[in-house]
Structure 1
Amino acid sequence: MHIIFGLGLDSRRGPSSENSFNEPTLGPMGLLGLLETYLGLARPEVSVARRVTGYLGHLRQHDDGERFYSESLHADSVGTAAKLLTWRDEWRLGGWTGSAPDDAPRRLRELAHVERTAQGDIAPGQAERLAVVEVKLATERTPIECVRLVDPVETFPLAWQKVLALLPGVGQWEAQPNGHGQLRALQELAGRAVHEGNLPGTLPSISDGSVTLVQATSRATAEHWLSAWRAHDEVDRLIVCESLGDAVDATLVATGGVSCGFESPSELRPALQAVGLALETVWTPIDTGRLVEFLLHSIGPFSRSARGRLAKAIGEQPGIGGEAWCTARQEIAATQNGEKTVEEVAFWLEGERWSRDAGAPVDALAVRVERLLEALQHRLTGDANLASIYVPAIEQCSAVLDGLAEFKRQGVPSLLPRQVEQLISHGTPTGSNPAAIAQIGCMRSAPAAGVCVEPADEVIWWMPSTPVLPQSLPWTAAEVQALQKLGVELRDPQRELSYLARQWLRPLLAARRHFVLVLPPPGAEEHPFRQLIQKLVPDLETSCINLDSEVNETYVGMLADPLARLAFPETPRVIELKTPIELPRDPQSYTSLTELFNHPALYAIKRVARLRPNSIISTEEDNRLLGTLAHRVLERLFAHADALAWTSQHALDWFRANIDILLQTEGAPLLTQGAGVSQQRFKTICESAMISLLDHLRSAGAVSVRTEVEFEGVLGNVPLTGKVDLVVELQGKRTIALDVKWTGDKRYAAMLSEGRHLQLALYSALIEQKEKLPPVALGYFIVESGALFTTAMDVFPAAQVRVPRSGVTVNELLQQARESWKWRASQWEAGQIEVVADEVLDEAQGPEGTLAVEGLGPWHFDHLVLLGGWEQ
């Protein structure tokens, strides 16, 4: 067996033009696994989460409050353990035996104390595994005949150097120029510059087309060029992409190409988000945003349709246990296997919760992970595609369970949210992106310059920019010196940096015929390799191809068929139809009438064509939520028949005793961390508004109040429906209709003053038709200010009276509404649907006797785009 071995080759991807039997290309973990297999040392893989939690236990065991890591351990236990474990593993790879003399620096001595109990107790890392392999190799042979090192042997940790010394035929591999002509000249010149450390000379230019620089102002433009270039010229091509390779793959696939298999961070994969969202259900207060993510996520522990119903309920009433939630629960129970699903809902969402400050019991967390693991395992049916999705998530759950089991073994009673998040992070497997598949016919690819160990006819280095440089040693000079005295060989960042420059040459040296450097968009940091070739070929940058300006030129224009540019259609003033249209005869509400009167085309889209935008379930705190909660407060208040007789203190006591339950079931966003100010403001406003409203009602002689009262009636011959927020009953069967708004004093006062209170007029008509008497007063109650605006002069002594300046009455408003209906109906009868934009309001006014046509708010933009409102 002939092995090619390098420090970065674990990340190397295929396909390879030189693959042959018994000649693998391996990185450290690949070769270690191979040696363990042939030496009979193979063992189940141990998760990082288990090793971190195991080491954390030993740190706590030795922590007396005075250790150098004590404060960090208290603030971030899992993160501290993970960092110190990396120190320990690096020392072990360098030859540390776990001891330290009494005169050693403090941190080294204290970690040596930890190592006395940790050694042999925590799961072995790479250093311990190599030590066992070294012992076995001294007496046993493997099928390996030779090993070619693509990195100098001195760059490997000491533990690896010892193992390599026991393998046969270990030799050095050197990258050699593979090009021809001027490309070859550049390769040789660049190699001399890096090895000699100075500029050996320059090339006047590269005129044979063997080296090309391209650049675009956006990554998307360059990605589309790459797709077209790949299809235009099929050659043996290698693409080197060190960042955002998944975006390149997405564009290649979208434009008819094939994916190279670049991976994005695995935490973004849906299957690997499931455990984090599942464990989010243990905390109080509820984070409704995360709760909705848990319910809408593609992978969850119970029925997706059931989770969808519950998500809609939370979107309507953000909380658990409210009316919408209970309705959804009943609907779930009525479905097939509904009772079992309801039990799952109760377990995951309605059970005990724990404070984010105190933490959740380890046992409770483990039970949830076990339930999720069981649900994921049930979804494995033998389908390879499903396996690629679920297996990484199953591995993640198993790793988290290992970590929780270790915590339990150590006697840790509970974990904080931050600790849970870190445990999940350490339990997340790498290389688990099922979408990152190298498809048949793809370009050869490399995720780093250092893994370009095979030549290719064309090499494309994709947007090298800010390089990842070797990290400096995190220890003091005294600590480094003490470790060296103990025989520990630490890495040399300066040597690593100098060697990194050689690795940056590999993409250039691998090119046989053509080397393409795709530069990042202007403004990005210049990569050292780019700076090098600028020095070697000063004229090269002037010939850089600008993909944006070359779209219609030979180099870029030949790659795709030109398309004629089409302008967006202009918004029509009137949609002309050949046949008459009948207005719907369904009961109309105030909202639907205002849409018809002010924007008939919008009404047609929503009420006739019944086109609706995708609904986005949101639980954010906004005025809509606050207004809904305020309505619910008043609804519950006046559910008490004697509420009008309560004193102000009685009302306040009732509110303070009940508001938290309302927020938990319908206003959970106000209970989340960071929402304390908003919550207190809401409560203060509601208290003040409630007392103000009770004072207004008592002063008017109210005897009872009905809330959310539904009425049916007609406007002329048009069926009409409406729900009045507050119907106040006075002596003598007199009534008052009030509409409750969260905010908007200026707006609603102006509507009354200008005679535009059509909503109140419609309520008046509905009440009169059902109860035979019109209300004696109409008004708007503003919760935020506690103000009451009305047109009645003698009903509410403390109200702010706004008499319409035009003198318009309720009956006149209703007559104008009837005329507006007739006007729009006549237009529809003629096959005309008017499109009203804000800029043509003056031209869009109706005939005399109709309501004024007013503009609509921005909340209709998603529909207006259908009518050509592109700039919206």
Structure 2
Amino acid sequence: MRIEFGWSLDGAAWADGGGAAGIARLGPRGLVQLLQGRLGLTRPAVEPAVRVAQYARRIAEADHPWLRASFSVDPWTTASTVLAWRDAAITAGARLEATDAAPERITALCTVEAAAPDLAAGAADDLRELVDVLSEEVTWPLGIESLCCHEDPGSLPGLWPRLFELLETAGVTMEHAAAGEQGRPKLVLVEAEDEWTAAETAARMLAGREGSPLQVLAGADTVLLDQELHRRGLPALGVADSAADRTALQILPLFLSLAVAPVDVQQLAAFLDLRVMDAPEGGREQVGLIPARARSVLLDALAQEPGTGGTAWQEAMAGLEADGEISESGLEMLRALSALVTAPIAPEELTPARVREVTAPLGKRLRALGQGDPSLSRASTHLQVLLEVLEELDPGTVLRERALAQMVESAGGRAGSPFARPEATTRWRISSRPAQLLPVGGDVLWWGADRDDASTGVTWDAAEVEALNGLGARLLPPAQLAALDTDAGLRGLHGAERIIVIRTRRRAEKPTAPHALLAHLAAGRAAPGQGVEDVLESIRLSPEATLRTDGFALAGARRGVKVPRPSRIAPLPTDLAKEVEPARHLLPPRLSYSQAEDLLGCRQKWTYKNGLQIRAASVATVPTGNRMIGTLVHAVVEQLVGSGDRRPSADRIRQEIETQVPRLASELLLPGREVELADVRERTVRSLATFFDRLGAAGLVITSVESRFEEPLVLHLQQGDVTVPFVGYRDVEAEDAEGRPTVIDLKWTYAARKYPELFEAGEALQLAAYAHALHEEGTDVGYFLLSQGEFVSANPALDPHGRPVLDIEDLWSRGTAGMAEALDEIGSGRVDARSGQILLDADQDLSTPRSAAKKTYASAREAARSQGSLVVDARCDYCEFSLLCGMRGDDS
């Protein structure tokens, strides 16, 4: 075997060196691995995270004072950083043995090394072991005839010069690659403002070439370029970086975030909805850790009670247990998840043993689903590495949540991109580093020639360099070390006849700078007195300059280009109504107040949501914010009334809030939400104390809360009368001493004027609907604003503001007439967006300040009242259908 060695050749394809002919093209890591195999020194690989865990234990045992303070605050980061220093010192050739008068960092490394004789070997130890074995008398044949080194072995750092000496002693013929004639390739530079334009230009060039060979140097991912290549019927290059945030690596951290109290229900919803997906063009079915039949059921339970362990969750689990269609593997996962979120681990009980216990069902589920699926196999490996890390810890150690998160992140490493799939092609050879280019002449397309600011390694100060040299190290100055990569890159580029650089001035919304090697190439072309930037400017082209009257032309590549006819973006619509086929079948099987509000406020919204059943994903319906708090306080009122206490004390109200929060608003228990929880709790205590006191002082006795009603509603439509059930829940019903009923609707809102204005304008349709369903004359109605602790009512005993009595019958009559009119319009095929149309007719839109929009709606209400109708503000700014109607963006 013959070997071609280059300092920057790690990652080069085996075939590049002529592997079939017994020639290998290797970098440092590749050569070490080959020699390990020849000398029988291979061993099972140890994950970097496991080595960090081992090293952390050794740091704790060594207890060096220089590391003590940092290690006590952040043991994982300290161990990871110090291990990197240790490996860098070993790679440099140092033997970390106790030494006198050394700098503190070196002394600390030597002290920990003495306490870590059984640390799993890393890449640095592999190199040291090779040198030690070859230093002995080796009779085992290496099977290597010659080794041709691109660099002078004496210019390499650390143990590498010694390794090459030993290989030569062992019979390997050492050669130095001839410098050869330094080429002066032509340079073409195309700079685009964005990645899309750059990708289109590069794809046109590749599609328009004929004949001569081409190498592609992909200095950045080719995801966008591959899309453009596919559009032209060409194979993808398939270059994409691995990353730590791939779907497979999100499963374990998301699961563990649910294991420790308090549980974030939004994270729980995300886990329930999590799918492991392949690339978009993969055509594979999405896989979920939670069975599809269970996913929506549990998400609906969270939508009812945004907490854990509540009645809705338990009922959902009972129903799933009785469902015979779910596999046993799926049921086991459901049971484990339910037990975990119902009784999560207390932070003071977070130990390695508990983590292993709660992750066991996840591992079993991943193995059951992951047969042949690389994504789930990667997730299983992630979990296995974490378990190996935990094995290095004392089972009874209490883990900090931050430390556990660091371990999980380190155990995951980086996962490959689903787009990293080069497609079979013989037209182009693809490299990711300039040094990997073959000196075959021809053209090189350099895609993404941006400056790389990656770290060059550990920096030692002068005293530390002297100490390490005394321990056997061979450290090169940083400039000399960087020159190795620069020279290797230039050797690769100088082997081409022409280099076509296509790059973008901005990538990922951040400005980029040209690669440093471009400056070297430009310097070789500079005339006396001409600067590098002047050279680059003289050859710089814009993508527009590649388009001529006869088509695209760049560096000998030509391709016809069709120029589309200019089109003008249509202006935003002035009429939001949609004209469709008559849809008389779109009648509600039942009506609730929320449906009635949609019919009156925006017929399109009702049609999309109720008529056509277009809904937001279940994961998006889990309440948060005001809706969650309102649900919580409603439940508190229900429990207080159910206990029979007509005027509960502040302590009793506070106690009930504490009881209901985990079930209905558990996200308020999360770290950082303490102030918000305290505000909600104390505001609710004051508000409900006022609520019960005012009712008592007014002589009102609560008779029921959350009482369901259902009654027939006759709608007079053009196609004939239609009767539908009108259903709902009245928050609070009360009676005075004479038996006259009062209906109170509870509202949690920070918009203090919204409901008083509705009431005073006679537009409080929800109150009218609830009162009308009682069919009792003299029914009093009102709101109670939970956040402000105020009643909105015409009863002076409850509300001293002297508000007018709400005309229930007139308001309900106008409401039902409006509902019938809306259904008639929908049935005829004209579906308008009334609320948005009111804004457009007033030359307003979603950017209009709310105060101005409210005045517009107030004027519309007055006009509608005079015509026996009413107007409902459908809040287009919060509507999920505003893109479909045209209020938000282009509706085309």
What TM-score, normalized by structure 2, do the two folds share?
0.84
The 1:307–1:264 alpha-carbon spacing in structure 2 relative to 1, beyond 3 Å, is farther
Rounded to whole Å, the distance in 2 between the matches of 1:285 and 1:490 is: 50
Question: CA shift at 1:94, angstroms?
Answer: 1.9
Rounded to whole Å, the distance in 2 between the matches of 1:261 and 1:679 is: 50
The 1:303–1:15 alpha-carbon spacing in structure 2 relative to 1, beyond 3 Å, is farther
Check conservation: 2:587, 2:823, Cα contact below 8 A.
Answer: no
Aligned residues: 820
1:392 aligned partner: 378
Q: Unpaired segments of 5 or more residues in structure 1?
A: 179-183, 188-209
Question: CA shift at 1:598, angstroms?
Answer: 2.9
Check conservation: 2:238, 2:420, Cα contact below 8 A.
Answer: yes
Question: CA shift at 1:475, angstroms?
Answer: 3.3
Matched, 1:657 2:645: no
Which residue among 745, 751, 760 is the counterpart of 2:758?
751
Rounded to whole Å, the distance in 2 between the matches of 1:721 and 1:592 is: 10
Question: CA shift at 1:781, angstroms?
Answer: 0.8
2:854 aligned partner: none
Matched, 1:294 2:271: yes
Question: CA shift at 1:431, angstroms?
Answer: 5.9
Which residue among 190, 199, 219 is the counterpart of 1:223?
199
- Which aligned pairs between 1:610-621 and structure 2 lie closer than 5 A? 610-617=613-620, 621=624
Matched, 1:856 2:857: no
Rounded to whole Å, the distance in 2 between the matches of 1:799 and 1:255 is: 75
Check conservation: 2:814, 2:870, Cα contact below 8 A.
Answer: no
The 1:676–1:77 alpha-carbon spacing in structure 2 relative to 1, beyond 3 Å, is same
The 1:370–1:224 alpha-carbon spacing in structure 2 relative to 1, beyond 3 Å, is farther
Deviations 1:805-859 (A, max 9, x none): xxx7222212222332343355456543334322127999769633233542135
Rounded to whole Å, the distance in 2 between the matches of 1:598 and 1:847 is: 15
1:195 aligned partner: none
Matched, 1:331 2:332: no
2:130 aligned partner: 133
Deviations 1:295-341 (A, max 9, x none): 22225766454355434433443221113311321232122357765
1:643 aligned partner: 645
1:603 aligned partner: 606
- Which aligned pairs between 1:268-667 and structure 2 lie closer than 5 A? 268-298=245-275, 303=291, 305-307=293-295, 309-336=297-324, 337=326, 341-351=330-340, 352-356=343-347, 358=348, 360-381=350-371, 383=372, 386=373, 388-408=374-394, 413-430=397-414, 432-441=416-425, 443-455=428-440, 457-468=442-453, 470-471=455-456, 473-506=458-491, 508-521=493-506, 523-533=511-521, 536=525, 538=534, 540-547=536-543, 554-555=551-552, 558=559, 560-564=561-565, 565=567, 567-568=569-570, 571=573, 572-577=575-580, 579=582, 581=584, 584-617=587-620, 621-640=624-643, 642-646=644-648, 648=649, 652-667=650-665
Secondary structure of the residue aligned to 1:258 is coil
Secondary structure of the residue aligned to 1:69 is helix
Rounded to whole Å, the distance in 2 between the matches of 1:866 and 1:398 is: 47
1:146 aligned partner: 146
1:741 aligned partner: 747
Check conservation: 2:733, 2:744, Cα contact below 8 A.
Answer: yes
Secondary structure of the residue aligned to 1:12 is coil
The 1:389–1:816 alpha-carbon spacing in structure 2 relative to 1, beyond 3 Å, is closer
Rounded to whole Å, the distance in 2 between the matches of 1:93 and 1:20 is: 32
Check conservation: 2:702, 2:732, Cα contact below 8 A.
Answer: no
Rounded to whole Å, the distance in 1 between the matches of 2:37 and 2:516 is: 41
Matched, 1:123 2:120: yes
Question: CA shift at 1:860, angstroms?
Answer: 6.0
Question: CA shift at 1:402, angstroms?
Answer: 1.8
The 1:619–1:96 alpha-carbon spacing in structure 2 relative to 1, beyond 3 Å, is farther
Question: CA shift at 1:437, angstroms?
Answer: 2.1
2:853 aligned partner: none
Check conservation: 1:685, 1:784, Cα contact below 8 A.
Answer: yes
The 1:827–1:297 alpha-carbon spacing in structure 2 relative to 1, beyond 3 Å, is closer
1:48 aligned partner: 48
2:175 aligned partner: 171
Question: CA shift at 1:690, angstroms?
Answer: 0.9
Rounded to whole Å, the distance in 1 between the matches of 2:803 and 2:214 is: 78
Rounded to whole Å, the distance in 1 between the matches of 2:178 and 2:296 is: 58
Rounded to whole Å, the distance in 1 between the matches of 2:388 and 2:783 is: 61
Check conservation: 1:332, 1:338, Cα contact below 8 A.
Answer: no
Check conservation: 1:8, 1:27, Cα contact below 8 A.
Answer: yes
Letter in 1 for 2:424: I
Check conservation: 2:6, 2:488, Cα contact below 8 A.
Answer: no
Question: CA shift at 1:687, angstroms?
Answer: 0.6
Secondary structure of the residue aligned to 1:7 is coil
Secondary structure of the residue aligned to 1:745 is coil
- Which aligned pairs between 1:653-802 and structure 2 lie closer than 5 A? 653-717=651-715, 718-719=723-724, 720-743=726-749, 744-768=751-775, 773-774=776-777, 776-792=779-795, 794=796, 796-802=797-803
Question: CA shift at 1:753, angstroms?
Answer: 1.6
Deviations 1:177-204 (A, max 9, x none): 79xxxxx54x4xxxxxxxxxxxxxxxxx
Rounded to whole Å, the distance in 1 between the matches of 2:658 and 2:226 is: 50
The 1:821–1:126 alpha-carbon spacing in structure 2 relative to 1, beyond 3 Å, is closer
Check conservation: 1:13, 1:445, Cα contact below 8 A.
Answer: no
Rounded to whole Å, the distance in 2 between the matches of 1:774 and 1:548 is: 78
Rounded to whole Å, the distance in 1 between the matches of 2:369 and 2:577 is: 54
Q: How many percent of aligned residue pairs carry the same amino acid?
A: 23
Question: CA shift at 1:732, angstroms?
Answer: 2.9
Check conservation: 2:876, 2:882, Cα contact below 8 A.
Answer: no
The 1:176–1:666 alpha-carbon spacing in structure 2 relative to 1, beyond 3 Å, is farther
Question: CA shift at 1:617, angstroms?
Answer: 2.9
Which residue among 80, 101, 104 is the counterpart of 1:103?
101
What TM-score, normalized by structure 1, do the two folds share?
0.86
Letter in 1 for 2:766: Q
Question: CA shift at 1:68, angstroms?
Answer: 0.5
Rounded to whole Å, the distance in 2 between the matches of 1:791 and 1:173 is: 97
Deviations 1:710-761 (A, max 9, x none): 2223454353222222112323332111111111221111111212111111
2:531 aligned partner: none
